[in-house]
Amino acid sequence: MKEITAQAEKLREDLRRHEYLYYVLDQPEISDADYDTLMRKLQQIESQHPEVATPDSPTQRVGGKPREGFVKVRHSAPMLSLDNALNEGELRDFDRRVRDLLGGAPYRYVAELKMDGLSMAAHYRDGRFEQAVTRGDGVVGEEVTENARTIRSLPLRVKTSLAAFEVRGETVMNRRAFERLNAERDERGLSRFANPRNAAAGSLRVLEPQITASRRLDFYTYFMLAGGRPACETHWQALEELTRLGFKVNPHRKLCRNVEEALAFCAEWEARRDELPFEIDGVVIKVDSVEQQRALAFTAKAPRWAIAYKYPARQAVTTVEGIEVQVGRTGALTPVARLKPVEVSGVTVSRATLHNEDEIARLGLQVGDDVVIERSGDVIPKVVRVHALGSYRKQFQMPGKCPVCGGNVVREEGEAASRCINTNCSARLKESILHFSSRGVMNIDGLGEALVDQLVDRGLVESVADIYDLTTEKLMTLERMGPKSAANLVRNIERSKKNPLPRVLSSLGIRFVGERTAELLAEEFGGMDAIATAGLEDLQKAQEVGPKVAESVFQFFREPRNRELVDRLRAAGLQFEYQYRRPKGGPFEGLIFVLTGALPNLSREEAKRMIEGAGGKVTGSISKNTNYLVAGEDPGAKLAKARQLGVQILNEAQLMELLKIG
């Protein structure tokens, strides 16, 4: 037993370190596949020996149960907002006030990026993550503990001597995750999130932690409090302490000796904001010394020791000269506005996406109109609204034939997208290859857009499976392809064969089957063939797989062309088996537990996880269906009720005993 405990702890340590390297430092030391293997090993041990599982284990990030409602929590100290400075003059005014109020004493500022997300507080006790609360109205927020637990850059355990502390920061969604999420929502006919901030908020404030987990949020900290007060003497020290503890802290910050340096920082990042993986809407400037912060104090709504220097929105007005249509991987036709070129904060914009017909109708847009467009980093510029109707207007109509292959275009009921239904359409093929080779899927470095265009246009690749027939000789016939890059690409293609089954599954581009669903299917069925031959009902038995997903998977494998593709991928040597299967059942299978009172060693959450890990269910109230009541100190009314109904009562030691027998 000791050995297993030690082995589990070692795995947890290793995984924590790799999570830190990957999600906080962005410098992984091992491959995703090796990380998955370690994770699976730990999952296996913890499910076979639930007594060695701990609530702060990396396996527990997505173990949480849905919330039953929105629980309000009062903040230890108000989470205030900031006053804004909209230009240089207003920032200088702020600086003058600070100087006057401090009566001539020297002071410094910390300038840091103002990330555009949702602020959140995370509480730790004895080094363990305990609770997360959104800002709410600043005084009372909403508890989002289980959802926040899924954010990989939020450590579940930190090494500190502080008994309790709190960190505050910004939950953000980076642009890539945002674009992917919206693309997925387009696919499903759901409405898009208007910006990464709304997407982050909509992902954190959901009842189901699995949803948060699938959204890839990030948490950047900028405050550390103990007992509701700043934990360090200066803000700069707090940021360094947070970094040391393993929190993600934005590295782009500056300790400024005066307002000139702060202004220079603002200007620098206004020019460089596109380099960042996430959106910023300005810079926050804070007086560094906590003592001086205290002296400067607060107005009713904001501190006098900090200010937000806001960047102007990157918008411009221009004319829509035409609307073109692009074809995506699933054949979806996306209308794109051709614009009269216009400069938006240093970049010339000549196209903006319009997403689909409904969006054009919502905007009330016709060709010839003047529109307000907005640019936000990598995100393709978008049309925000119609500014003025054109004098000559032309209504857009979705073409009945695919603009690339001439195939038929169909818009199915309940869907926002019109699609080209020709599976041989070259635009679809190109997009499918790009999806196949993308980072989160088969991860084939070097197989980018320009190359894929050539491969398809020259007929070297007619199906995704042809990628595995590429040789250095064939590749060297292409433009700008020397022997070295060709050999590299062939090596990367070869390497991609090692990707585990869930990735292979998501590479197929089955509608509604993204990373997470692919993983669940692989876990449930253990192999490609079992999935391919499963009936509709079997498919729906897999966790979280609803009728729509099941139907899509089922239909995919009924299509001869798809089956042929799968066979060819098998022949190429891709991974079609999946060793790990979520262990079903357990010693407590079918048993219902209720917990009451404080247990001597286990927290309620720990006890719950152990019971659930062994296959049992934990409910909130005693009924005649309850099998066991686990009672600790001060058990209250539940104990009396259990006695009355003849429910068996256990103490913590007896519970542990039962778990061991299992």
Phi, psi of 370 (to 5 degrees): -90, 135
Q: Cβ 293 to ligand IVH, closest distance in Å? A: 9
Q: Cβ 1 to ligand IVH, closest distance in Å? A: 47
82 binds ligand IVH (CB under 6 A): yes
Whichever of 249 and 531 has its CB closer to ligand IVH, that residue is: 249
Catalytic status, residue 301: no
Total residues belonging to the chain: 662
Structure tokens at 37: 């293997």
81 binds ligand IVH (CB under 6 A): yes
Radius of gyration of the chain (CA): 28
* Piece of 152-160, 301-309, 396-404, 595-603 that binds ligand IVH (CB under 6 A): 301-309
Whichever of 112 and 187 has its CB closer to ligand IVH, that residue is: 112
- Exactly one of 94, 178, 222, 556 binds ligand IVH (CB under 6 A); that residue is 222
Q: Cβ 84 to ligand IVH, closest distance in Å? A: 7
Question: Beta-strand (E) ranges in 328-434?
Answer: 332-344, 347-353, 370-376, 379-388, 409-410, 418-420
**Which residue has the closest beta carbon to ligand IVH?**
119
301 binds ligand IVH (CB under 6 A): no
**Local structure of 370: helix, strand or coil:** strand
170 binds ligand IVH (CB under 6 A): yes
Q: Do the bridges between strand 128-134 and strand 164-172 make them parallel or antiparallel, or are there none, so unpaired? A: unpaired
Q: Kindly state the DSSP code that residue 21 receives in the 8-state scheme.
A: I
225 binds ligand IVH (CB under 6 A): no
Q: Which of 378, 314, 369, 376 is nearest to 337 (CA)?
A: 369
Q: Cβ 143 to ligand IVH, closest distance in Å? A: 18
Could you write out the three-class secondary structure of 140-201? EEEECHHHHHCCCCCCCECCCCCCEEEEEEEEECCHHHHHHHHHHHHHCCCCCCCCHHHHHH
Q: Kindly state the DSSP code that residue 230 receives in the 8-state scheme.
A: E
Q: Kindly state the DSSP code that residue 467 receives in the 8-state scheme.
A: G
Q: Which residues contact 62 (CB under 8 A, 6 or more apart)?
A: 149, 150, 209, 210, 213
Q: Cβ 306 to ligand IVH, closest distance in Å? A: 5
Whichever of 49 and 235 has its CB closer to ligand IVH, that residue is: 235
Longest dimension (CA), the chain: 83
* Piece of 302-310, 420-428, 454-462, 605-613 that binds ligand IVH (CB under 6 A): 302-310
**From residue 314, how far is each of 195, 274, 280, 542 by CA, in Å?**
13, 12, 12, 45
Phi, psi of 400 (to 5 degrees): -80, -20
- 2, 10, 41, 114: the active-site residue: 114
390 binds ligand IVH (CB under 6 A): no
Q: By rule CB under 6 A, what count of residues binds ligand IVH?
A: 14
Scan for tokens 């804004």, then name that residue.
Answer: 84
Whichever of 269 and 578 has its CB closer to ligand IVH, that residue is: 269
Q: Cβ 108 to ligand IVH, closest distance in Å? A: 16
Q: Cβ 308 to ligand IVH, closest distance in Å? A: 5
* Piece of 42-50, 107-115, 176-184, 538-546 that binds ligand IVH (CB under 6 A): 107-115
Whichever of 75 and 114 has its CB closer to ligand IVH, that residue is: 114
Q: Cβ 72 to ligand IVH, closest distance in Å? A: 18
Yes or no: say if 308 and 84 are a contact pair by the CB < 8 Å rule.
Answer: yes
Whichever of 94 and 576 has its CB closer to ligand IVH, that residue is: 94
86 binds ligand IVH (CB under 6 A): no
Yes or no: say if 196 and 116 are a contact pair by the CB < 8 Å rule.
Answer: yes
Whichever of 43 and 171 has its CB closer to ligand IVH, that residue is: 171
Whichever of 81 and 648 has its CB closer to ligand IVH, that residue is: 81
- Exactly one of 21, 38, 80, 183 binds ligand IVH (CB under 6 A); that residue is 80
- Exactly one of 303, 368, 403, 446 binds ligand IVH (CB under 6 A); that residue is 303
Yes or no: say if 631 and 639 are a contact pair by the CB < 8 Å rule.
Answer: yes
**From residue 234, how far is each of 241, 346, 544 by CA, in Å?**
11, 37, 47
119 binds ligand IVH (CB under 6 A): yes
Question: What distance in Å separates the CA atoms of residue 356 and residue 365, rounded to the nearest whole number?
Answer: 12
Whichever of 83 and 544 has its CB closer to ligand IVH, that residue is: 83
* Piece of 3-11, 303-311, 524-532, 628-636 that binds ligand IVH (CB under 6 A): 303-311
- Exactly one of 46, 56, 95, 112 binds ligand IVH (CB under 6 A); that residue is 112
Q: Which of 312, 300, 324, 314 is nearest to 347 (CA)?
A: 314
* Piece of 17-25, 108-116, 542-550, 621-629 that binds ligand IVH (CB under 6 A): 108-116
Whichever of 238 and 475 has its CB closer to ligand IVH, that residue is: 238
User: 383, exposed or middle or buried, with CB in 10 Å at 0-12, 13-18, 19+?
Assistant: buried
* Piece of 79-87, 153-161, 520-528, 544-552 that binds ligand IVH (CB under 6 A): 79-87
Q: Cβ 169 to ligand IVH, closest distance in Å? A: 8
308 binds ligand IVH (CB under 6 A): yes
Q: Cβ 182 to ligand IVH, closest distance in Å? A: 22
Q: Cβ 112 to ligand IVH, closest distance in Å? A: 4
Rounded (5°) CA angle 439-553-563: 85
Could you write out the three-class secondary structure of 65-91? CCCCCCCEEECCCCCCCCCEECCHHHH
* Piece of 112-120, 326-334, 584-592, 648-656 that binds ligand IVH (CB under 6 A): 112-120
Does the CA dihedral 244-246-249-251 come out positive or negative? positive
- Facing residues of 114 across strands? 282
Q: Which residues contact ligand IVH (rule: CB under 6 A)?
A: 80-82, 112, 114-115, 119, 135, 170, 222, 284, 303, 306, 308
Which sequence positions are flagged as catalytic? 114
